[in-house]
Amino acid sequence: MRERKRQKRKKLCREKIGEAESSAMLLQLIQLWMMLCFASVSCSARQDPFAMRISCGARQNVQTRPTNTHWREDFGYTGGIVANATLPSYITPPLNTLRYFPLSEGLQNCYVIDKVPKGHYLIRIFFGLVGQSRGTIIEPLFDISIEGTQIYSLKSGWTHQADQVFAEALVFLIDDSVSICFHSTGHGDPAILSIEILQIDDKAYYFVPRWSQGLILRTIKRLSCGFGQSKFDVDYAGDPWGGDRFWQRIKTFGEDSESSQPRSVETRIKHASHPPNFYPETLYQSALVSTNNQPDLTYTLEVDPNRNYSVWLHFAEIDYSVTTVGQRIFDIEINGDLAFKHVDIVELSGDIYTALVLNTTVSVNGRTLTIKLKPKEGNHAIINAIEIFEVIMAESKTESEEVSALQALKKALRLPSRFGWNGDPCVPQQHPWSGVGCQLNKSRGSWVIDGLGLGNQGLKGFLPDDISRLPNLQILNLSRNDIHGAIPSSLGTINTLQVLDLSYNFFNGSIPESLGQLSSLQILNLNSNLLSERVPATLGGRLLYRASFNFTDNAGLCGIPGLPTCGSHLSSGGKIGIGLGASFAFFLLTTCSVCWLKRRHNILRAQKIAARAAPYAKARTHFSRDIQLTRHHNNFGKTSTAAENGPILLS
């Protein structure tokens, strides 16, 4: 009996120990799961993307409802005038001001935004309208470029189409800044309501290898098929790394409402808001389905010819009649060519209510892009959304050193504001700077400046030494302006210079000796200035045989045929040499004159002394002669004594 009780107690203890161990193990598993969850959240969390929104013309930061979007005050612009804004569309941000650029401000004006981190960006520009005093509104047409590449040309009627009141492009920024320029085409003044610079995932919209190097995607169309309203992704509460996209709702393709039927569900969609594109889940909860009357689903869009387009097609099987693989299969043709064969959404996505994205790039020679879904099994086709982008090759930029040199010239020459000279001088190629010639340096993959034609433009400044920072310059024409000052000697370092025309200005001083080093020079016009002194021998001698030149109508120039001889028209060096020679001659003449005068003075003094002593000298002479005669006579009479032959004292 006791043994039975003891065995029972042991059994109970073992059960309690087992329960405790199970509880401890469960607790450990829970703790491990929580740690893994925390680690997963921590790993998936990352810094919010860079976002900058500018309200053009605003003098202070503003917020707009209903999303309380923050807009920065206006900055970074190169010109323009602030005005009250007229909003062209219901999707336009409710901002009160804009900045417009009249032709007097130049053909191109830009926003240059610095301190933008390197990365992948969605850049969007909203257009506005300026109300005129007479009550009419002019619809401006102009071109837009980003980082020197033209991305868009506004077309007539844009104010009546919601998705054309803005331009949008996906761009890689590599130098911590972005320039957005607006180019006048003579059809009204560009008017900009807002600019958005939104960072997106670096791998977003990956469609070809090395797509991040020199390619830009411009948004042509984003369609959300089926029920709902046209709106931005922020209203969907989408991931900010998706870029706040605008989706235009469409309930049917074409004018025939019986060609398709909308479908919608509230069921959760798997694999929707995933990196790198972060498409909103709502995008896949509605769709268009073809009908028995029209089994094919066809969408046609007017596009620019001879371009490449990246097409993104979105699917999710949300039709309750399809539950498994093989129940709906269709082909996809683009402009008559088979792009995707035997598309089975359930099979490719892995399940129903699961997002599927197909992408392809096509070349379009005509003016339309047609997407056709042709059923093979199930009689009906289905589509949830369409994205179409134009693929644009990014332009090569101008050498930064030469751009800064032109900016220095702009300031020194006092270029009129109508010239603009904002952005990049050579690109976009459709809108180079006025008076600037460009050439592509293929070896370096960048543009260089090979010509400046600024003749007869009313320039009133001076020509700075910065001109030498254009080492590829072949033609420099600044004739018929009011430029003053000296001709910079640094011009002589531009070995490529072939034409130099500085005529009809107010250049003064001498012609730099360095111009004689321009071995490629063919034409040199310096006539009708205020130049003086001798034409450099190296320049004049070579020009006589190898180039055309004109030095006339410079009153102070001399030294070559056709100009006065350099008599009084001596160079500064000659004048200095003559001055030094004259000074030395004067010094030598003065020294010789002083020596001659002293010598003459000594001679005259000696003569005067001699004149005063002449009578005494004569007397001594007579006395000496008498003594000598006496001695002579005595020698014939008797022998002389020692006393008689002793020394004769004359004084």
Q: What is the pLDDT of residues 417-464, one digit of tens each?
A: 889 999 999 999 999 999 999 999 999 999 999 999 999 999 999 999
All residues at 6 or more sequence positions from 330 whose CB lies less than 8 Å from its CB, including other chains:
342, 343, 373, 374, 375, 376, 377, 378, 381
Between 412 and 598, the higher pLDDT residue:
412
Contact 85, 165 (CB under 8 A): no
CATH superfamily of 47-199: Galactose-binding lectin (2.60.120.430)
For 615-640, give one letter per residue: b (16+ CB within 10 A) or e. Answer: eeeeeeeeeeeeeeeeeeeeeeeeee
List pLDDT tens digits, range 497-523.
999 999 999 999 999 999 988 989 999
Q: Confidence band (pLDDT; 50, 70, 90) for 599? A: low
**Which H or E element spans position 217?**
strand 215-225
Q: Which of 447, 428, 424 is nearest to 149 (CA)?
A: 428
pLDDT at 561: 79
When pLDDT is averaged across residues 33-49 and rounded to a whole number, the result is 54
Give, rounded to a whole angstrom, the gap between the first and last alpha carbons of the chain: 188
Residue 494 and residue 467 in contact, taking contact as beta carbons nearer than 8 Å = yes
Architecture of domain 400-558: Alpha-Beta Horseshoe (3.80)
| pLDDT given at position 498 | 95
What ranges make up the beta strands (E) of 503-542? 506-509, 523-525, 530-534
H/E stretch holding 64: strand 62-64
Distant-in-sequence, close-in-space partners of 388: CB < 8 Å, separation ≥ 6: 220, 221, 222, 301, 303, 309, 310, 311, 312, 369
Nearest to 384 by CA among 312, 505, 522, 287: 287
The pLDDT of 87-91, averaged and rounded, is: 92
> Is it the case that residue 303 has pLDDT exceeding 70?
yes
Contact 225, 217 (CB under 8 A): no
Residue 465: which pLDDT band, with cuts at 50, 70 and 90?
very high
Given this model, what pLDDT does residue 425 score? Answer: 97
Separation CA 185–CA 354 (nearest Å):
47
Q: Are 368 and 301 in contact (CB under 8 A)?
A: yes
pLDDT in tens, 374-396: 999 988 999 999 999 999 999 99
DSSP 8-class letter at 510: P
Listed range (117-121, 404-408, 478-482, 602-606) with the worst mean pLDDT = 602-606
Band of pLDDT at residue 30, cut at 50, 70 and 90:
very low
Predicted local distance difference test score (pLDDT) of residue 453: 97
In this prediction, residue 81 has a pLDDT band, given cuts at 50, 70 and 90, of very high
Least confident residue range of 187-191, 439-443, 547-551, 633-637: 633-637
Query: How many other C-beta atoms lie within 10 A of the C-beta of residue 570?
Result: 16
Name the token pair of 13.
Answer: 């203890």
582 vs 167: which has the higher pLDDT: 167
Q: What whole-number distance in Å separates Cα of residue 91 and Cα of residue 194?
A: 13
What is the b/e burial string over 524-533, where b = at least 16 CB atoms within 10 angstroms of the residue's CB? bbbbbbebbb
pTM score, whole prediction: 0.79
Measured CA to CA in angstroms, residue 590 lies from 17, 130, 272, 597 at distances of 132, 86, 106, 10
216-394: same fold as 47-199? yes
Give yes or no for residue 22 having a pLDDT over 80: no
Instruction: Examine the pLDDT at 135 and tell me if it is beyond 50.
Output: yes
Q: Which of 78, 65, 73, 106 is nearest to 194 (CA)?
A: 73
Every domain of the chain and the residues it spans: 47-199, 216-394, 400-558
Contact 138, 105 (CB under 8 A): no
Q: What is the structure's pLDDT at 466? A: 96
User: Could you give the CA distance from residue 223 to residue 367 in angstroms, rounded to a whole number?
Assistant: 19
CA–CA distance, 228 with 263 (Å, rounded to integer): 11
pLDDT of 9 > 90? The answer is no
Q: Which residues have C-beta within 8 Å of that of residue 67, sequence separation ≥ 6?
A: 234, 235
pLDDT (mean) for 552-559: 90
Averaged pLDDT for residues 48-65: 95
pLDDT of the residue at 643: 32
CATH architecture of 216-394: Sandwich (2.60)
**Alpha carbons 78 and 110: distance in angstroms, whole number:** 6
Confidence of residue 579 (pLDDT cuts 50, 70, 90): low
Is 650's pLDDT higher than 60?
no
What is the model's pLDDT at position 632? Answer: 40
Helices (H), 306-361: 345-349
**Alpha helices of 202-283 — where are they, by DSSP H?**
none
CA distance 9 to 15: 10
Instruction: Write the burial class of residue 210 (CB in 10 Å: 0-12 exposed, 13-18 middle, 19+ buried).
Output: exposed
Q: How confident is the model at residue 648 (pLDDT cuts 50, 70, 90)?
A: very low
Confidence of residue 363 (pLDDT cuts 50, 70, 90): very high
Cross-strand bridge partners of residue 509 = 531
Mean pLDDT of the chain: 84
